Amino acid sequence: MLEKCLVVDDHEMIRETIAIMAKSLGFNDCIMAIDGADAISKLYHERPSFIITDLQMEPIDGLEMLRLIRSGRYGLPHDIPIIILTANASENVIAQCIAFDVDAFLVKPVNRQSLQERINQLSLQAKPKKTVEHYFSMYEQDPAKSTAFQMNGTVAFTDEILKEVDEVIHEHKAPIPPEFLSQEPIIPPAAEGQPEPDNRKKFIKWQDRFTVGHHELDESNKELLAIINDTYDLVVNHHEGNEYEDIARRFQHYVKHHIEQEEALLIEADYPRLKMHKDMHARLIKQAEFVVLKCQADPSFYKTDFFRLLRFWWVKHVVQEDTKYKSIFEMQT
């Protein structure tokens, strides 16, 4: 992957700076293009293995370049990893980039550390791509770049579902009991020489009723609960910066390892709802990928869409679905 990088930006200083960063991070060579049209020519003739591109350019912008590449136009390698640089991109444009499987976003101004994190992320696990025919069909149906992503049925949430989740969390209806939201007591200061207590207000408090009947899975779900509470703490205290990205990485780790572990245990236990449960996982993974990418493009979405995703995952999946298999593990003990 780190053979030759194509850097695309209509500002000379920006593209040269990013090219220098990319070479310092391990690329053998970096070539540059001034816009999407120039980039397509360079991609065709010089065959780079990686693209870092700005979004707003003329005559072909980053989104249209992404759509053309993924659609296999002009014989271009449709599965090449692409990072798109964003600055004040609209939610609609971000959604269209995700629909055409952009690999990652990076918010301008770009620094070396954030670029390294994105490249490392893609080096370890490149995002799988669909067929050329799939993207070309989307391109033909949506030549004017409308909201094809939403029309394809992959919106992370509907208004009705979000309303239901919020009502459950705010105790307007069962199945979650009244003490679902924690009311933490005021904890006195620690004695001298003792670690400071965690006085942060928690959004959700773990209770025994949330158990799924398996100790390791419960411990994994407690990590999700910690992620929810840590995100809540950042939101209510108006934090900005890399702290949200750190939490997003923890969430991605939880998603991957929890689902792998849970599905293996449910297969071993011959869980009768296994297929339905795995289908739910597939939809949740897709939602998570969409929301995390959206937050990469515009970090303000961590406070809204990402926090909604966490609440949705906890209520609709852990509490209302995972607890259904509790009995099969209790019978094994």
pLDDT score at 199:
59
CA distances from 184 to 203, 207, 232 (A): 10, 13, 14
Q: In a 3-state reduction of DSSP, which class is residue 85?
A: strand
CA distances from 167 to 170, 204, 311 (A): 5, 14, 11
What is the rounded distance in angstroms from the CA atom of residue 61 to the CA atom of residue 55?
Answer: 6
Q: Which residue type occupies 154?
A: T
pLDDT score at 172:
34
Per-residue confidence in pLDDT tens, the chain, 333 aa: 678 999 999 999 999 999 999 999 999 999 999 999 999 999 999 999 999 999 999 889 999 999 999 999 888 899 999 999 998 888 989 999 999 999 999 999 999 999 999 999 888 777 889 999 999 999 888 764 433 223 233 334 556 665 666 665 554 333 444 444 444 444 345 556 555 555 567 888 999 999 999 999 999 999 999 999 999 999 998 887 688 999 999 999 999 999 999 999 999 999 999 999 999 999 999 999 999 999 999 999 999 999 999 999 999 999 999 999 999 988 776
pLDDT score at 133:
94
What is the rounded distance in angstroms from the CA atom of residue 295 to the CA atom of residue 288?
Answer: 11
pLDDT score at 58:
87
What percent of the chain is helix, strand and coil (3-state, nearest 5)? Answer: 55, 5, 35
What is the rounded distance in angstroms from the CA atom of residue 157 to the CA atom of residue 18?
Answer: 35
Long-range Cβ contact pairs of 38-44 (< 8 A, separation 24 or more): 38/8, 39/6, 39/8, 39/65, 40/65, 40/68, 40/69, 40/74, 40/76, 42/6, 43/6, 43/69, 43/76, 43/77, 43/80, 44/74, 44/75, 44/76
pLDDT score at 125:
76
- E strands, the chain, in order: 4-8, 29-33, 50-54, 82-86, 104-107
CA distances from 227 to 38, 42, 91, 203 (A): 43, 43, 25, 10
- E strands, 95-205, in order: 104-107
What is the rounded distance in angstroms from the CA atom of residue 161 to the CA atom of residue 152?
Answer: 18
Q: Look up residue 291 and give its two tokens.
A: 């929301």
In sequence order, the 6+-apart residues with CB closer than 8 A to the CB of 302 are 231, 234, 244, 247, 248, 295
Length of the chain: 333
What is the rounded distance in angstroms from the CA atom of residue 19 to the CA atom of residue 119?
Answer: 13
Are the C-beta atoms of residues 122 and 296 closer than 8 Å to each other? no
Nearest Cα to 114, choosing from 260, 248, 231?
248
In sequence order, the 6+-apart residues with CB closer than 8 A to the CB of 257 are 220
